[in-house]
Amino acid sequence: MAQTNGSNGSSSSPSSPPPVGIYVPVPTFFADSTSSSQAAPPLDLETQSAHSLFLARAGIRGLVVLGSTGEAIHITPSERSELLKSQRKALDDAGFKNRPIIAGTTAQSIPEALEQISASKDAGAEYAMVLSPGYFAGNVNQQGLIQWFETVANDSVLPIMVYHYPGVTNGLYISPATFERLAGHPKIVGCKLSHGIIDDTTLIAANPKIDHDGFVVFTGLGQNLLPVLAIGGVGAIDGLAGCFPRVVVKLYDLFNSSLKKGLTSKELAEMRELQYRICEGEKVVAKWGVVGMKEAIARIWQMGGATSARLPLAGGFEDGEQEWKKWEPVFTGLKELEQSLEKQSK
């Protein structure tokens, strides 16, 4: 992969974006907090690797490790490296060397972001997904954001993606015009948009001034997958795909196959139905976040524990069985669909 040279970001050739498709922002699995230290339950790397291979075998294109769903802000620097190394090794040993790992960064300062990126590369990550610095969101202007990301990119040892998630960055807003500027940097190769502002997404994904071979747009919301693909997005980095990977991949594959051979009314109806089913499941992600995903993965696939989390996330649904019963019909249906797609693939 081509790398930029020097602190000014100059390059003989731009860095390549990550392969298009469906990625999963994997949860970080910990030992059950009821049987370990509540202050910092240790990583459960055995379950982590089992989940990663479950996803790879289902057609997931790559993993985002240490994103928001991965509780990155709860992970120490040494644990970051341990987690990344273990998942790179698990994928490689199982024959999935072509599945990239994108490492999340959560630092507010440029030096710390660069430290996280450098350590991530040493641990086996191929890309860095850099969360926007939202601590001073009320005082930050677009020029400040441009300078922040370009300065990070200039000295980054990995190609970077801009992670725009207003929900965890004090409502920080990054405008389409700012993305247009950042897309021109040879080491800024894409973005993850974790918001539902479809017009802004369109103004980035369909912008004729952006070289979309060098800068790709992923939605962070599976409930928006079909419309985002239609306006030029290249895939999703989606939490629900961590529980039902084949369902989300099926929608992505149907859309792309229809582009090649022409869309039939039957395929359109199937895509609409899949998007509807995904939207139903995404409601638990929207309401409960990583707590909901861990609960679902534990209940549906018996991987990890529903109470596996670090404080202040208490782990598990607040009302336990009563809350799960509200979601069980939707998730049981999605499990049946996931299993039917697995049978079709054999």
The 8-class DSSP code of residue 318 comes to T
Of 23, 127, 192, 294, the catalytic one is 192
The reply to whether 5 falls in a domain is: no
Residue 13 lies in a domain: no
- pLDDT (tens digit per residue) in 22-70: 999 999 999 975 666 767 899 999 999 999 999 999 999 999 999 999 9
Q: What is the pLDDT of residue 33?
A: 59
Instruction: Quote the Cα angle for 88-161-27, to 5°.
Output: 45
Give the range of the structural domain holding residue 185, as residue numbers without chain letter.
21-345
3-state secondary structure of 131: strand
We report the CATH number of the domain holding residue 161 as 3.20.20.70
Active site residue 192: yes
In a domain, 327, yes or no: yes
From the list 163, 187, 250, 252, the catalytic residue is 163
For tokens 């802000």, what's the residue? 73
Q: How far apart are CA 62 and CA 20, in angstroms?
A: 9
- Residues 101-151: pLDDT tens digits? 999 999 999 999 999 999 999 999 999 999 999 999 999 999 999 999 999
Strands 101-105 and 216-219: unpaired
Q: Residue 289: inside a domain, yes or no?
A: yes
29 part of a folded domain? yes
Q: Give the SS3 label for residue 51.
A: helix
For the chain, what is the mean pLDDT? 94
DSSP for 186-204 reads TTEEEEEE-S--HHHHHHH
Each residue of 172-182: pLDDT tens digit? Answer: 999 999 999 99
Q: Is 209 a catalytic residue?
A: no
Task: Say how far apart CA 161 and CA 102 lie, in whole Å.
Answer: 9
Strands 160-164 and 188-193: parallel
Report the C-alpha gap between 306 and 295 in whole angstroms: 4
- Total residues found in the chain within this entry: 346
- Count of domains forming the chain: 1
Residue 37 CA: distances (Å) to CA of 32, 201, 290: 9, 42, 20
How does pLDDT run across 73-93, given as a tens digit for each residue?
999 999 999 999 999 999 999
Residue with tokens 């199937």: 270
